[in-house]
């Protein structure tokens, strides 16, 4: 039987990457990259929906289902799954994000067949027993409590919930104690059935692998997954950011955790490379402006950085730092001063070149393992519907000018758009909109 409806070489300029794609008759897309110089194979089943695609009453269901598939299948118990993974020396893992869920395994190439059988069984034949659901509710409720005890996580989560207030993007990936406690077999099975469909999934693999043979093996496992089951949840409309100021007292903390951010372009925006470079110069490394000013020159914080959080239709650029309460106001002033400088003063050619070299190196080094290339294939497909080669990406980075950096800084760093969350033993500290001028 022919397994191929659509098959083509993906348009990468770099001849070093051997990437191919095949669409199975039921609509499942299989992507592979052959890496002859390695002995490993990494493969992942990607679900093209995450926590932001959930309805409010089932917030956290994507993460819950991710946990539940590890509790046993129609032919294997959870213990058997664990033993068989260890027997082949595999690394089996999963994660849930705002927009995707991924189940993945990495093994030696000689163990590709049993690894594929394990991964497929895990994804396609979970049992979802009532007993396992009840036990896992307890586990995830403890996970929620654990994260609430982590100040770094909590300040980011609080910032996100207020920044995307009223939108699914702002709801926690784990869900809440109320929503998680409400999950039952019917809810779990319904949500699993609506998301785990061929047209809402991508199967990606990278390493010492032969495409045609691998595709045939994938089809052997996934051919019974019916194409008529749907295409996954409807994608929500783009959210509107909320320029909030949230001060949350937590007297048990020694430091004040600070998270400040602004809306930023989406993952698909044509200006994304300019934004990545702006972020790199602002707080993306040890030579960044914030690290040098706040930590090296002033000694005000051990940890300070900026980060991009791009999604399919929105994004944010935020700054995080932890410092003592008596240094918070100065830290904010110096941070806002750096934002102002990026708006008013064009970055030098030398500073921009350093940022470009750093960003290009991070991209290339990030593709040295089979697992990172497997993830790269799936994400590029889901966000862009095509593959951008390293040569193309580096050319785009090189094309960014100081003028473009200044233009994007002026667009992003507007006082009325700034959102701020602070968590810690704040005492009488008060921060108002007038303190966030840049």
Q: Is the dihedral of CA 243, 249, 253, 254 positive or negative?
A: positive
Q: What whole-number distance in Å separates Cα of residue 126 and Cα of residue 136? A: 14
Residues acting as catalytic residues: 66
Going by their DSSP bridges, the two strands 256-263 and 315-323 should be labelled as antiparallel
The strands making up 101-108's β-sheet, listed across from edge to edge, are 6-9, 18-23, 29-34, 201-207, 40-47, 101-108, 91-96
Cβ atoms of 137 and 182 closer than 8 Å: no
Residue 154 CB contacts under 8 Å (≥ 6 apart), including other chains: 147, 148, 250, 257, 423
The whole-angstrom separation of Cα 315 and Cα 268 is 10
Nearest to 102 by CA among 433, 304, 378, 398: 378
Distance between CA atoms of residues 386 and 23, nearest Å: 14
Retrieve residue 437's tokens: 């001028």
Give 421's strand partners: 246, 259
């Amino acid at each position: 039987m022919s397994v191929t409806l659509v098959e083509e070489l993906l348009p990468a300029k770099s001849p070093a990457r051997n990437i191919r794609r095949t669409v199975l008759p039921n609509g499942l897309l299989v992507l592979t990259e052959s890496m002859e110089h390695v002995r490993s194979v990494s493969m992942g089943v990607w679900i093209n929906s995450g926590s932001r695609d959930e309805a409010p009453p089932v917030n956290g269901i994507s993460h819950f289902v991710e946990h539940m598939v590890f509790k046993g299948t129609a032919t294997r118990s959870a213990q058997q799954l664990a033993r068989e993974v260890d027997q082949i020396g595999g690394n089996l893992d999963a994660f849930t994000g705002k927009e995707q869920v991924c189940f993945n395994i990495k093994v030696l190439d000689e163990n590709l067949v049993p690894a594929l059988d394990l991964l497929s069984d895990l994804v396609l034949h979970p049992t979802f027993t009532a007993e396992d659901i009840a036990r896992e509710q307890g586990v995830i409720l403890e996970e929620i409590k654990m994260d609430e005890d982590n100040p770094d996580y909590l300040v980011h989560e609080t910032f996100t919930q207020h920044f995307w207030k009223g939108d699914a993007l702002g709801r926690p990936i784990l869900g809440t104690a109320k929503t998680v406690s409400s999950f039952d077999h019917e809810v779990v099975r319904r949500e699993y059935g609506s998301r785990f469909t061929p047209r809402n999934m991508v199967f990606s693999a990278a390493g010492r692998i032969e495409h045609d043979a691998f595709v045939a093996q994938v089809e052997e496992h996934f051919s019974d997954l019916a194409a008529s089951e749907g295409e996954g949840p409807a994608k929500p409309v783009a959210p509107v950011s909320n320029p909030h100021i949230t001060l949350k007292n937590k007297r048990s903390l020694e430091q004040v955790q600070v998270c400040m951010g602004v809306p930023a372009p989406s993952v698909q925006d044509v200006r994304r490379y300019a934004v990545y470079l702006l972020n790199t110069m602002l707080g993306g490394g040890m030579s960044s402006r914030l690290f040098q000013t706040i930590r090296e020159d002033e000694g005000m914080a051990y940890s300070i950085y900026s980060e991009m959080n791009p999604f399919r239709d929105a994004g944010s650029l935020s700054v995080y730092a932890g410092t003592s309460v008596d240094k918070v106001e100065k830290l904010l002033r110096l941070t806002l001063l750096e934002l102002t400088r990026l708006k008013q003063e064009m970055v030098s050619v030398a500073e921009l070149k350093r940022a470009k070299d750093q960003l290009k190196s991070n991209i290339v080094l990030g593709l040295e393992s089979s697992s990172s290339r497997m993830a790269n294939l799936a994400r590029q497909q889901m966000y862009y519907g095509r593959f951008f080669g390293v040569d193309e990406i580096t050319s785009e980075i090189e094309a960014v000018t100081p003028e473009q950096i200044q233009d994007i800084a002026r667009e992003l760093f507007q006082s009325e758009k700034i959102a701020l969350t602070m968590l810690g033993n704040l005492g009488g500290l008060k921060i108002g909109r007038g303190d966030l001028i840049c």
